[in-house]
Structure formats: C-alpha cells, structure tokens
Structure 1
Amino acid sequence: MSATHYRDVRDRGFMRLDGLVAGEALARLRGAVADLEELARDRTVSGGNFVLEAPGIGGWAAWQQGAQALPGVLRSADRIHEHVPEFAAVQRSLDLAGGPVAGAAGSPGTLVNAFLWAKPPVVGSAKPWHQDIAFAPPSFGAEEHGIVTIWIALEPATVRNGCLEFIPGSHLLGLFPHTGDRERLPGEPPRAGAVEPHVADEHLPRTADPVAVPLEPGSAVMFDGLVLHRSAPNTTAAEPRTAVSFVYRVPRPSWTRMEPAAVVRA
C-alpha cells in the first residue's frame, strides 16, 4: 500500500485494516491468547499486568478498589508480549511496524506495549472515552513521539458486544482533560470509590458523531494515540469479544499537537 491508503489515520485518526491477519498468523495469536488465559486461570485478584472482570463494577474499578473479581476471567492484560513471547513474534512476522505503521506515520514504529482486550459476555465492562497518549509515562517523551496502535479482533467485534468507537478528527484538537484516579502503584492500598480516568461528556468535542468500527476476526483498526475512543459493555449472552493490540512509538506525526484541547461545540 502507498501512503495515500493511510490518509484516514491522518485525517480522521483511525482506519480499518480488513483481513490484516489470516490463516496461520491468526491461529498463532489465538493460541497465544489461550496461553495467556492459562497464566491467569488461578488468579483471584487483579495485579501483575492482569486485570480480572468484576460484575457490576468493572475490572479496572474492582482492581483499584480491591473488590472481588471473577476468578480467572480476564478483562485485560498488559505487556502480553513479555508474558507470552509469541505475540511479539507474530507482529514481527506480519511486519506491522514497517508496513501499516510506517505507512501511517511516515517511518517504522517501535513496539512499546501489547495488550489483551477481553470483553466476556454478560459481564464485559465498558471502557470510557479516553486518549491513549494521556497514559504514556514521562519516560515515553510525548513531546517528541506519538503513538500508533493496531487493534486486531480475534472474534467478531460488534456493536452488541462492545466494538471500538471513535470521534473522527479528535486527534487534531490536542489533549483533552481526563477526569478520574491514576492507577495505584504496587504496594499502595486500595482506593474506595476509584473512578477510571476518562474524558467527561462536557469536554467531548461536538465536531463529529462517534463512529463504531465493527470487525471480523483477523481484521483490525489502526489509530493515532490522540484520537478519542471508547467501547460499550458486552451485554450479549454468548458473544465474547477478544482482541489484542500492539502499540508503537513513532516520531511525533506532523498533524498532532500536545497542547490542551479547546472544547469545540457545533
């Protein structure tokens, strides 16, 4: 693909990559997820890069509040390429950094993190509006670098079970204020009433309606680290939504700006 094929990432902040992963590569990712789930099978509390789902409260809040979670039922996992190296091997074999990421950002990316995003039926919790770059550690160097993420569906991601939604063009507006509590550090006590960081409704731009991006297994969505996105809860009875994402550091794209966003009303 030429750079013009990736114009939507620059103009809208995101784009679909239909059929990005197929055949053996898709089977390898699914096998790696099974290995990751086995690592979490006996866990009863969140921690160590693994967040368990919790009915009614959600995995993130339960983790921060020290509330009871569902044993072994993952909501998300961080640094999955370190826990199961097969994830890193698959993304290298697909040349995600030198292919689609380079096409979007103008130069190859460097893998800085990888995640499992599990949203089990009935109890799969929502992820509120946010921008990924807001959670980059100081060592990331957000003034010089940006983020491009490739989010790959391993099962159908639908509006019913919580596919990603984006606000087109929001990545051009700067960094929006995020309300909520930071994640507690290892050894810190639980926080009663902890609220997941998010962009409150009154701070969301009204320049464009949110766009849902349903995906078939093996298809992906690639997006800029400043685009506003969220996912709804999975309220289906038997339709799990499982995905993995690979996060790449790139030289700061020319279209992004890090100063605070002005709230735009239309």
Structure 2
Amino acid sequence: MADTHYRELRENGFVRLPALAAGDLLARLRRAVARLEESARGRTVSTGDFVLEAPGIGGWSAWQRGGEVLTGVLRSAERIHEHVPEFDAVQRSLKLADGPVARAAGSPGTLVNSFLWAKPPVVGSAKPWHQDMAFAPPGFGPEEHGIVTVWIALEPATPRNGCLEFVPGSHLLGLLPHTGDRERLPGEPPLAEAVEPHVAKEHLPGTAEPVTVPLEPGSAVMFDGMVLHRSAPNTTAAEPRTAVSFVYRVPRPSWTRWEPAAVARP
C-alpha cells in the first residue's frame, strides 16, 4: 500500500484512500461537523473562517461582494481544528501525518490548516479549477515546502452533488496562471464584481482529461498541493455533500515545480 500511495501521488497528483475513517471515527467527525454547524447557525455575515452559501453566485463571491447570503448555511469553514478541537483529535487518531502523508511524501507532515467543505442540496455552489499552492500563506516557503491534503467524505460524494475532479499529472507542470480577486482584508469595502480566483479555460492544460473521484462516506482522496482540481455545483434535491480536509506541510516533493508553467495546449 505504501508503494501505491507514493506512486499514484507522484504520477497523478492524487490517490484514493478507501474506508480511511470508519465506524466510531467517522461518527466523531460527523458529530464535530454538527457542532461546527450549530456554532454558525445564527450567522448572517461571512468571515475568513466561516463562509455562508448564497444561491446563484456562491458563498465566496457573495462574501467578497457584500451580497445576500443564507443565514447559518455554511459553504466552507477553515481552521476547524481550532474551532472544534475534536477534529484535531480525530486526525491524530487516524495518524494521517505519520501514516498516509508520510508514506506518500517521504516524511511526516505538519498540520497547517483544516476545512469543512459543505455543499448543500440545490444551492451548493461550484469550486472552480485551481491549485492549492497558489494560495500559500505568508511565511510558507514555496520553494522549500509542499502541501499534501487529505479530503474525507462524510456523506456520499458523487458527480451529481459535486465530488472532486482532478487533472492527472497537472502537479508536474508548475504553477498555472490564476485569474480573479484576492480575498478582501477586514475593514476593506466589498468589491462589486469580485471573481473567485481560478485557472481560466485558456490556461487549462490539455495534457489529460479530468477525472472525477466519487467517494463513499469515510473514504478519502489525498492530493498534492500543485494538482489542478475543482468541484461542480450540487444539483440534487436532497443529497448534501459534506467533507472535511486536513492540510499538511511537507518538504517539497522532488517531482513538483513551483515556477510558472508553460501551458500545454490540446
């Protein structure tokens, strides 16, 4: 299994981890999500840590434009292991940093962030094509470090409700151009036409067809911070897609590049 983790992450940029969190560990993650959602139930304004969903334009754009949102309906949350420490306890119980991350990246990872990814039925918005390393935080040495993310489905993730999609091998191409606006800082005024950062169609590589990665509850996908990925909107009437992810800093893998990519055309 260790060889599979290493080979698939190195070659494709992602690898499935079936039945990673089962039984009580899956139940603990679900209970932790319920506490997180309860804490956000009365929120009417998005913040850096809690982004509320908005029909039509999506939670991120509504947040940046100062638009109307759905009260208490989360689209995403970050630093969830700080808001609800049970998330940190579960990722430690799963031994993610010393287990699958270490086997894939060659050394243990250091947890640097964690997220809730909620995609409610009907209104769950899309996430456009992007590479996580395009959003590396200040002080993160991109020439020295890489990112490995473990994304765990808590409910069935399907093409209908917005499972993740990846472009295999795109992590080998370097950093692709990202178009859009940065998140506004506290106190900055809304930006009326804010566009979520993304890799535009003309900059998408033609090196491979996208691959959808449906997951059963408790299964996960682990991926490199340079791999190109997205998720479609949730078009179902009653099938929520809820997931959590844990992001680990690792020494920069030898197979990835940080410098801007030469975009390959089909």
* 2:254 pairs with 1:246: no
CA displacement 1:21-59 (0-9 Å, x = unmatched): 001100000000000001100001101500000000100
Q: Which residue of 2 aligns with 1:196?
A: 196
Aligned residue runs from structure 1 range 90-101, under 5 A? 90-101=90-101
Structure 2 distance, partners of 1:106, 1:218, is 24
More displaced 10-residue stretch of structure 1: 138-147 or 225-234: 138-147
Q: Which residue of 1 aligns with 2:73?
A: 73
1:260 aligned partner, one-letter code: P
Structure 2 distance, partners of 1:157, 1:164, is 8
- Same amino acid, percent of matched pairs: 82
More displaced 10-residue stretch of structure 1: 232-241 or 42-51: 42-51
Q: Which residue of 2 aligns with 1:168?
A: 168
SS in 2 for 1:255: coil
Structure 2 distance, partners of 1:55, 1:70, is 8
2:199 aligned partner, one-letter code: V
Structure 1 distance, partners of 2:233, 2:76, is 14
Q: Structure 1 length normalisation: TM-score? A: 0.99
2:169 aligned partner, one-letter code: G
1:49 aligned partner, one-letter code: D
Structure 1 distance, partners of 2:13, 2:111, is 19
Structure 2 distance, partners of 1:12, 1:113, is 23
Q: Which residue of 2 aligns with 1:42?
A: 42
SS in 2 for 1:139: coil
Aligned residue runs from structure 1 range 195-234, under 5 A? 195-234=195-234
2:61 aligned partner, one-letter code: A
Q: Which residue of 2 aligns with 1:151?
A: 151
SS in 1 for 2:98: helix
Structure 1 distance, partners of 2:166, 2:49, is 26
SS in 1 for 2:115: strand
Q: Which residue of 1 aligns with 2:185?
A: 185
Q: Structure 2 length normalisation: TM-score? A: 0.99
Q: Which residue of 2 aligns with 1:84?
A: 84
Structure 2 distance, partners of 1:220, 1:34, is 20
RMSD of the TM alignment (CA)? 0.7
For structure 1, list consecutive stretches of 5 or more residues without a partner in the other structure: none
Structure 1 distance, partners of 2:256, 2:139, is 19
Q: Which residue of 1 aligns with 2:259?
A: 259
Structure 1 distance, partners of 2:2, 2:133, is 26
Contact 2:120–2:241 (Cα < 8 Å) also in 1 = yes
Ranges of 4+ aligned residues in structure 1 off by more than 2 Å: 1-6
- Aligned pair count? 266
Q: Which residue of 2 aligns with 1:126?
A: 126
Query: Shift of residue 231 of structure 1?
Result: 0.2
Q: Which residue of 2 aligns with 1:114?
A: 114
SS in 1 for 2:99: helix
Structure 1 distance, partners of 2:42, 2:155, is 24
